[in-house]
RNA sequence: CGGGGUGUGGCGCAGCCUGGUAGCGCGUCGGUUUUGGGUACCGAAGGUCGUGGGUUCGAAUCCCGCCGCCCCGACCA
């Protein structure tokens, strides 16, 4: 993509309303534009990042056996009356009325809707287990939207739902989602720690929140330093192996890690040695919980067991804040110059800076490089503006592309281009072949 | 919803107290400069001063209402 043909409205000055780094940088890098309180338009650069995150979430959901669907944003009040939540939900639910005076609502979540879909066809133990999910815009009329996309009113969420015959089976589904989440966040280049959450009306310990550690997080968290160092890495995961899944969950939920909602100072001190005790702040990016028959009972989603008895299906729901992740990623990956995207979600794989736009040799070499990068499957943003070098470098740094190639007359004389890494700041002079090969190798791994 | 702020060209702000008909910086556009880390110069465009009403000869400025947005608190992906 040539910058001159792209739509990248970067801001030199920081808009006054933005308080935290991710919000400031998203506005400055031209990723979003506010439409009204807590509601944003996604501009090309931001939309690209959002789609990259979505893609990874889709891949990891399906790897774990969840099946993609797409439910509507506007729902009928009828189902919500059946579940009893139409009155229970309160003013956070945006209620609307259609031309026939029917009560509708802009969905804040989809338990009712998905349970209705499931109950319409499933009737026996042979129909489970099933996990359905979608990535769809939600609306919650938050009391106080803030921090840009971190707490918007309209936001993109992955919400998944599991259906099982009983609690034990539901627990297997729960474990699949926990492992899937660990993989998802790791691929996104984030350290997200599963923390025991309030389990709500069902009780038990089957509720976890995933929090990204960041100074601007909204929750205070208490954790064992050792869990921060854990990774799934390349370990082969067999989602059909219930024992392996249970073991992973055990490993990841044994070290102390809780938010202020569930924190128990005495237990914290008893379980974690003083030097390993970490108190920090975190951004909630995921939430998984088992809710038993809470929706199946009122909505009549019943299954016949092998012994002929009928009972309500056991469900769980699993959320990932996709649009919030964009903000969380920036909170975790930025410096005073701008964003630093992990390769897996970067809007472009590499930025190309032509130091002497208008010079035949430089223009030709840049165009050639652009073609070769594209042929290697690497997305490139070529800054072909007639601008001073400093301005071009600053733009690349602001928008956070992980790699930058620089073409200039000095390098060309020596037959090289400069390849620089945004995170480390380290750069090296390479031949065009070597540079393309190196980038291909790096991106083959993400 | 309670508390605190704010609304003036695309962005950041001054002007408001002490009414006289709008200004600065950045950006944008047209030139010149051909640049190795936000270059310099010349020129230009762009504003219902959030909105409705009131006071006044005259309102961005004073008064009243409404709306938007931001921050702190209770809620959540």
- Using an 8 Å Cβ cutoff, are A351 and A231 in contact? no
pLDDT tens digits for A251-307?
A: 999 999 998 888 889 999 999 999 999 999 899 999 999 999 989 999 999 999 999
Instruction: Measure the N-to-C terminal CA separation of chain A; round to a whole number of Å.
Output: 21
Query: 């042929």: which residue's tokens?
Result: A375
Kindly provide the residue ranges of all beta strands, DSSP E only, lying in A17-98, ordered along the sequence: 32-36, 39-42, 67-68, 74-76, 94-97
Axis crossing angle, helix A322-332 with helix A21-28, rounded to the nearest 10: 100
A402 touches strand B (CB under 7 A): no
Q: Report the predicted TM-score, pTM, of the whole model to 2 decimal places.
A: 0.94
pLDDT tens digits for A314-373?
A: 999 999 999 999 999 999 999 888 999 999 999 999 999 999 888 888 999 999 999 999
Q: Which residues of chain A have pLDDT under 70?
A: 199-205
**Is the ipTM, as predicted for this complex, more than 0.95?**
no
Say what the pLDDT of residue A439 is.
97
Say what the pLDDT of residue A359 is.
86
A28 touches strand B (CB under 7 A): no
Q: Which of A152, A156, A150, A251 is nearest to A194 (CA)?
A: A251
Residues of A (421-440) placing their beta carbon closer than 7 angstroms to any atom of strand B are: 427
Task: Give dist(CA A80, CA A111) in Å, integer.
Answer: 9
- At A434, which helix (H) or strand (E)? helix A432-444
Say what the pLDDT of residue A434 is.
95
**Nucleotides in chain B with any atom closer than 7 Å to protein CB:** 1-2, 11-13, 25-27, 33-39, 68-77
Residues of A (228-287) placing their beta carbon closer than 7 angstroms to any atom of strand B are: 284-287
Say what the pLDDT of residue A126 is.
95
Phi first, then psi, for residue A363 (nearest 5°) are: -60, -45
Residue A49 CA to nucleotide B25 C1', Å? 33
Q: Is the four-CA dihedral A187, A179, A48, A22 of positive or negative sign? A: negative
């Amino acid at each position: 993509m040539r910058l001159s043909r792209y739509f990248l409205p970067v801001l030199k000055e920081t808009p006054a309303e933005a308080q935290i780094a991710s919000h400031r940088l998203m506005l400055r890098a031209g990723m979003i534009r506010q439409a009204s309180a807590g509601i944003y338009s996604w501009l090309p650069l931001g939309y690209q990042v959002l789609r990259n995150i979505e893609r990874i979430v889709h891949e990891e959901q399906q790897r774990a056996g969840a099946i993609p669907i797409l439910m509507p944003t506007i729902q009928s009040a009828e189902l919500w009356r059946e579940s009893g939540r139409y009155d229970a939900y309160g003013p956070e639910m945006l209620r609307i009325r259609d031309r026939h005076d029917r009560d509708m609502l802009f969905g804040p979540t989809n338990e009712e809707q998905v349970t209705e879909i499931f109950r319409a066809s499933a009737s026996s133990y042979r129909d489970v287990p099933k996990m359905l999910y979608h990535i769809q815009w939600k609306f919650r009329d938050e009391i106080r939207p803030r921090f840009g996309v971190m707490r918007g009113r309209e936001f993109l969420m992955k919400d998944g739902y599991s259906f099982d015959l009983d609690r034990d089976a539901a627990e297997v589904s729960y474990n699949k989602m926990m492992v899937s989440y660990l993989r998802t966040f790791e691929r996104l280049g984030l350290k997200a720690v599963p923390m025991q959450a309030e389990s709500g009306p069902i009780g038990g310990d089957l509720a976890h929140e995933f929090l990204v550690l960041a100074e601007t997080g909204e929750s205070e968290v208490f954790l064992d330093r050792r869990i921060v160092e854990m990774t799934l890495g390349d370990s082969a995961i067999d989602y059909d192996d219930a024992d392996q899944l249970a073991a992973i969950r055990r490993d990841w939920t044994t070290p102390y890690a809780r938010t202020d909602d569930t924190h128990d100072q005495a237990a914290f001190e008893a379980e974690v040695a003083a030097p390993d005790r970490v108190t920090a702040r975190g951004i909630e990016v995921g939430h998984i919980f088992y809710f038993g028959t809470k929706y199946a009972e009122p909505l009549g989603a019943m299954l016949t067991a092998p012994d002929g008895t009928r009972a309500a299906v056991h469900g769980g729901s699993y959320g990932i804040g996709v649009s919030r992740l964009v903000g969380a990623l920036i909170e975790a990956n930025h410096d005073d110059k701008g964003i630093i995207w992990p390769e897996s979600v970067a809007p472009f794989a590499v930025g190309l800076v032509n130091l002497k736009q208008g010079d035949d040799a430089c223009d030709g070499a840049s165009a050639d490089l652009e073609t070769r990068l594209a042929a290697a499957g690497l997305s490139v943003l070529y800054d072909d503006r007639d601008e001073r070098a400093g301005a071009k470098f600053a733009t690349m740094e602001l928008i956070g592309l992980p790699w930058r190639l620089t073409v200039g007359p000095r390098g060309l004389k020596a037959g090289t281009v400069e390849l620089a890494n945004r995170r480390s700041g380290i750069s090296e002079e390479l031949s065009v072949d070597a540079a393309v090969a190196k980038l291909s190798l790096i991106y083959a791994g993400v």
